Amino acid sequence: MASSKFSPVIASQTVASNDAFIEIRRFRLMQICVVTAIGLIASLLVARGFTVHIFSVGLFFLVVALAFAFKHRSLLSAYTLIGAMALMLFALQVTGAGLFDLSVLGYPGLLIFSAILGGVGLFLSVLGFVITLCVSVAWLTLSGTIVPHVPTASWAHLVFIVVIFVVTGFSVYILVRDIKRLMLSLQQENAKVQQSQVELQHIAHHDPLTRLPNRFYGEVLFVQCLAECQRNKQNLALLFVDLDNFKPVNDVLGHAAGDLLLEKLALRLKNTLQEKQYIIRFGGDEFLILVPTQEGSEQLNVLAETLIKQCEKEFEILQNQIVISASIGIACAPKDGTNFKQLCRRADIAMYQAKQNGRNTYHYYDENLEKASDDKFKLLQLLRAAQTTRQFELYYQPMVNLDSHAITTVEALLRWPQADGSMIPPVQFIPLAESSGLIIEIGRWVIEEACLFCAAQRRLGFS
């Protein structure tokens, strides 16, 4: 979809660039025709004999080339201009001093014209044509067909030389000026590309909402910080900050309020940190903080408490006073690992322990937490399978009236027997079922089974 949207734009920009280039070339062609025509008019004023006819014919074809350029037939105009000028110079050689005639000085100008006005094809064509003309003059001279004669010095020859130099110099000037403009344009485009690359890199590495480094760039910062800490013989602490009860803010006030809260909180937490301490938007309402630290946890304790206090401060969001809290898990490299993803996972485990401890507090990672987390995960998988295959059993415990010794009610107790005859106690799987949402299906099954049991007991005569 993206390529289909942008391809017409790119195509239109390319067409516009080509049109501008063609228009510049046409303008240069008209400039050269005018300057060369002025030079020929000046030469006509001092020319004598057959040279007048040669210059007149050349001037006529210059006017024709100018007309073609004015009618936007640039390629035909260029060939007319260069062809007429080449033949004019050839005629001057044949009627003058041959290969030693002053008109030879005009051939470099023709090559410059072809470089300005056309592509490689035109330039090579003109170069071959000029060489052919010079070879022809040499052959005609050596064969005796023409007899070169060296003219005596005169003011007319000085005018011819000045005209050739002016026309050639003007052509060189506009060629160099166009090259300079092109170089400047390329430099400006290169600067724009570099700026765009910087902006794109910033967008790719930063969260658009909080403008903090995102998870991808956070891993890069972690690697850099860890390498520096290893050189300085320091530890690198990773603090996993998760907001408590952030979802109600979005549910009640809307996501715009939630986004504004995250922006203000990110700025508040960032201003709390010191140099070489980094805060990262991990995702949602989760943040990571990288802190180089020495042995001992006192510095981290102070920082964690400060961060919690900052989160506790009241926020004014859309004319509402909002108070939240945060739970923080802390893992340290290299003690708890040196891999970014591994350390994030372990800090996340410690953070969930902080939530279980009552929220609005912090907790350090230790191996027992990970074992408990792994056990919990495995138990959850078994619990899902047990709920699907109905592995549970109900045990009914009678409740007896101590005065009448009569059974007044029966309490249904849920049990989870295992294949080896053991039981997983409810204190282990009931909280897990509640936190995972499986308790709803399990509760429905318990009610159905208890009702069936009661109906069966009534059929047996028990009331």
Do 352 and 397 belong to one domain? no
**48-62, 112-126, 309-323: range with highest mean pLDDT:** 309-323
6 pLDDT higher than 60: no
pLDDT confidence band for 79 (50 / 70 / 90): confident
Q: Is residue 205 part of a domain?
A: no
Residues 50, 52, 57, 58, CA torsion sign: positive
pLDDT per position as a tens digit, 398-450: 888 888 878 788 888 999 988 888 888 888 888 888 888 888 999 999 999 88
Q: Confidence band (pLDDT; 50, 70, 90) for 1? A: very low
Q: Are residues 8 and 156 in the same domain?
A: yes
Residue 210 included in any domain: no
Asked whether residue 32 falls in the same domain as residue 153, the answer is yes
Residue 353 shares a structural domain with residue 424: no
CATH of the domain at 247: 3.30.70.270
Residue that is last in its domain, among 305, 340, 365: 365
Task: For residues 361 and 400, state if they share a domain.
Answer: no
Residue 450 is which amino acid? A
CA–CA separation, 358 and 352 (whole Å): 10
Coil, helix or strand for 399?
A: strand
Contact 113, 174 (CB under 8 A): no
Specify whether 383 is located in the same domain as 357: no
φ, ψ for residue 340 (rounded to 5)?
-60, -50
Among the three residues 335, 365, 395, which one is the final residue of a domain in this structure? Answer: 365
Residue 70 DSSP class: H
| Cβ atoms of residues 82 and 113 within 8 Å | yes
For residues 175 and 304, state if they share a domain: no
Can you give the pLDDT at residue 170?
Answer: 79
Tens-place pLDDT, residues 92-138: 888 888 888 778 888 888 887 777 777 788 888 888 888 888 888 88
Give the pLDDT confidence score for residue 320 in this predicted structure.
87
Predicted local confidence at residue 3, as pLDDT: 45
Helix, strand, coil distribution of the chain in percent, nearest 5: 65, 15, 20
Average pLDDT over residues 163-179: 79
For residue 157, the cross-strand partners are none
Among 324, 341, 365, the domain-final residue is 365
Residues 314 and 438 both lie in one domain:
no
Region 166-186: mean pLDDT is 80
Dihedral pair phi/psi, residue 308, rounded to 5°: -65, -40
d(CA 195, CA 411): 73
Contacts of 162 (CB under 8 A, 6+ apart): none
Q: Which domain holds residue 315?
A: 215-365
How many Cα neighbours within 13 Å face the side chain of 451?
A: 6
Does a structural domain hold residue 207? no
Tokens representing 184? 């400047």
**Residues contacting residue 315 through CB under 8 Å, at least 6 positions apart:** 261, 264, 265, 321, 322, 323, 324
Partners of 331 in beta bridges: 238
> 149 with 251, same domain?
no
- Prediction pTM value: 0.57
Q: Same domain for 34 and 79? A: yes
Give the least confident one: 24-28, 131-135, 191-195, 361-365: 24-28
Kindly state whether residues 386 and 341 are assigned to the same domain.
Answer: no
175 exposed, middle or buried (CB, 10 Å; 0-12, 13-18, 19+)?
middle
Query: Mean pLDDT, the chain, as a whole number?
Result: 85
Q: What is residue 17's predicted lDDT score, i.e. its pLDDT?
A: 59
- Residue 208 forms part of a structural domain: no
Q: Of the segments 304-308, 364-368, 398-402, which one has the largest average pLDDT value? A: 304-308
What's the one-letter identity of residue 79?
Answer: Y
Does residue 265 sit in the same domain as residue 400? no
* Position with higher pLDDT, 283 vs 148: 283
The DSSP result for 401-448, as a single string, is -TTT--EEEEEEEEEEE-TTS-EE-HHHHHHHHHHHTTHHHHHHHHHH
Whether 39 is covered by a domain: the verdict is: yes
Quick check: is 406 in a domain?
A: yes
What pLDDT, on a 0 to 100 scale, did the predictor assign at position 37? 86
Q: Please state the domain count of the chain.
A: 3
